[in-house]
Amino acid sequence: MVAQSPVGDHNHTLATEPYGIMDAMSKEPVHEFDLGASSPADPARSNGPAGPEGRDGSSGPDSRRRSSPGWRTSPWPVVTLAVLLVIGGAAFSPQGGPRHARPPATLWTAQVDTGRSPGLWMLGEHPVVAAAGGLQAVDPSTGEQMWHVPLDDPACTPSGDTLVCVADEGQEAAVVIVDASGGTTAHEFPDADVAARNGADLFVAGSTEDRAWLARVPAGGGAPVWHHQPELPGTGSRFTGITISQGIVTVRTAAEPRENRPTLPFAFAADADSGDTRPAVVRAMGMTIFHGPGDEQDDAPEVLPLPGADLVVDGYPQAGFTANGLVDLPTHTLLHEHHALALYSLGEDVLATGSERWQDETATPDLWLHRVHALTGQQRWRLSVENRPSCPCTRTEDNVVLSASFSDREQFTPTAVALLGVDLRTGQLRWRQPIDTPPEGLAAAEGQVYLLTGGTLTAYADR
């Protein structure tokens, strides 16, 4: 079923997703800390992010975030949103179905006062979380704070062994590089909202009252390599995220609730080399959102952001994935049509999700995740799943960890259901952790998975 829903002056096409069944949560005892506190809180307060605090919303980030002005209308001639969702069936894989997977052990929880752009990354050997008052590194064994870098409401992106953050706002805004020890290097950058680094250059984006902008700046300083201004006014909200993937720089706001309308982010994108306008594609839990830049760019491929390893395609060094499959990006040549949406790169292989065609008489179609060779489409394994797998996602040495969600035919916004731990070699569903709020951050290392959601940081054993 496809529904048409107006959002501002844009027409958005949304295909809805499924209703799923949430298993009972693990009742194992956990340790809970307030970050920065010297002693654990009462462990009876929470069983993790699906526990009582996660449900009543009292500890969520919204109550602590700064208020922002309302959205403004974009003058782009065409902004199309395609949400690629289907309702997940209760199919089972040869390796064992979704209901056969147990929740992982919960190791500890900690409370986080999140700000405008919650985030979670591995920096060195420590999980690092973005909070309203700065960055906090925590001990992976206990959840206790290891170090704290005071920053005013930062938005950060990973770059190797560092984080690239923008702190403060307006004329006081600065780009701050943070290393694994908590050391910082700051550069003043008025009106900046977000920044990322690719090689030696910084990509910095921001907005004023009347104009959004994106610039590629040499890390050593000097004039910008290029300066991009999309044909739209200021958004009325600060940008909260930036990604560089498959040669495209994408800048986005947070998804903000609007009465009687879908909760969607606003985004624009540019070619990382040239700064030319490109279609913006934003991936969120259960959704892939396409923002078209206008008729003059209709032939440009809508390149999917693809987390994971760099894509390796023999003979095609600039190959990338679109919703149709693998494409040689310079020539727009379709190299292999994939009947599933690529989610995560493993180098020569990708993980992708798809479903059987939805028949009117079928309540829920079969839904699956598989690992395939990017160029040939050769399938390594296929796992039938109960709900739509998507990102936020991460991986450990043995498993990939994906978010799972559902939407019924009346909803536009997916509902969080679970985290899935899937064996990368065999496709077996190793574990399934119920959640009821979307992940704000997901990271993994050394046999542990870390989830930030609803202001709670939780560590799970990856087994």
- Predicted pLDDT at 342: 96
- Predicted pLDDT at 92: 35
Kindly state the average pLDDT of the residues 357-386.
83
Using one digit for the tens of pLDDT, what is the confidence trace for 252-303? 998 876 665 666 788 999 999 999 999 999 998 888 888 876 544 556 789 9
Using one digit for the tens of pLDDT, what is the confidence trace for 168-187? 999 999 999 999 999 999 99
Using one digit for the tens of pLDDT, what is the confidence trace for 252-261? 998 876 665 6
Instruction: Say if residue 392 is preceded by a cis peptide, omega within 30 of 0.
Output: yes
Amino acid at 298: D
Mean pLDDT is lowest, of 93-102, 155-164, 246-255, 266-275, for 93-102
Q: C-alpha angle 87/88/90, rounded to 5°?
A: 140
3-state SS class at 279? coil
- Predicted pLDDT at 360: 56
CA-based radius of gyration for the chain? 21
Using one digit for the tens of pLDDT, what is the confidence trace for 49-74? 333 333 333 333 333 333 332 222 23
- Predicted pLDDT at 73: 28
What is the number of domains present in the chain? 1
Using one digit for the tens of pLDDT, what is the confidence trace for 223-260? 999 999 987 765 678 999 999 999 999 999 988 766 65
- Predicted pLDDT at 357: 67
Domain of 216, CATH number, reads 2.130.10
Across the chain, what does the average pLDDT equal? 78
Domain that holds residue 269: 2-461
* Four-point Cα dihedral 262, 266, 271, 276, nearest 10: 110
